[in-house]
Amino acid sequence: MPGGNSANPDVPELMVFVSFSLPRETLQRIVHQSERSGAVLVLRGLKGHSLTQTGEEIARLVGERNVTVLIHPPAFQQFQVRQVPSLVLARSGSAAKIDEDGCAPAASFIRIDGDVGQDYALDLIERQAPAWADIARRHAARLAGPRP
């Protein structure tokens, strides 16, 4: 997710911002749900300032699950994430256009903060944000579908 004002089609549509400081059970639930929903996990930085230690921790956490994990500190500013976990739905093209403060336009993403399940967060978005209902419904259907 590079800076600047150019559109980046590679901005993930569904992201969950996490930290290794979260309880292990919370992280395991997020990984399990992310495999089903297609969410990308986003970390602010390295565990213990070590790429090796971070890679080992990600491997222990994710195991054989098909989950993408990004280490991307600017994304926390881009989507104004102040606490973890936070679930973010973003519109790829417009969310990649960041302002001088490093933030994506407010209309290009929606965020739910707190330790809630992805099913709850997506349902809340679907019910309370009509402009995001289709995207939320699509990810919720993947989450509720058969196990991969």
**With b meaning 16 or more CB within 10 Å and e meaning fewer, what string describes 102-121?**
eebeeebbbbbbeeeebeeb
Range name among 1-5, 59-63, 73-77 with the lowest pLDDT average: 1-5
Supply the pTM of this predicted model. 0.88
In this predicted structure, the answer to whether residue 47 has a pLDDT above a threshold of 80 is yes
Domain 14-144 coded CATH 3.40.50: no
Domain extent listing, the chain: 14-144
Question: What tens digit of pLDDT does each residue of 71-96 get?
Answer: 999 999 999 999 999 999 998 777 77
